[in-house]
Structure 1
Amino acid sequence: MEFGLFTVFDQYKEKMSRTHEQLLYEVLEQTERADQLGYHSVWFAEHHFSEYGILTTPQMLLSVAAERT
């Protein structure tokens, strides 16, 4: 069985005090940890103009994640 990590990048201003930058760093840390634990994939959702997801270009963040894993 293979496991993966899926992230939607939800950033609700009323509920979370983190900045967008902090969220991106948290996701990168989670991605690195998932790699260390043997996960086989990560999935980054793409959303535009929504608090449900703040990532508009997953390819950019995935390239940073690829460098770290």
Structure 2
Amino acid sequence: MQDWRVIVGKNVRRIRQQRRMTQEKLAFEADLDLTYIGGIERGRRNPSLSAMARIAEALSVPLVKLLSEQ
């Protein structure tokens, strides 16, 4: 089983790219710092539940989608 941060990061990147959204746009929509989004996507940041909820909302997906392994 992969580290949950890596799973979340891969899911955020995949969904963001499917929506043709830049990291900058996602950061703006989720009201988070651009470097924080990059760190999450690389699996190096430990996002709070609140941050993940804001990202999920900005991506228009349920929060559970960010946590599920593909």
What TM-score do the two structures reach when normalised by structure 2? Answer: 0.31
What TM-score do the two structures reach when normalised by structure 1? Answer: 0.32
Report which of the two structures shows the higher radius of gyration computed on alpha carbons: 1
Greater share of residues in helix = 2
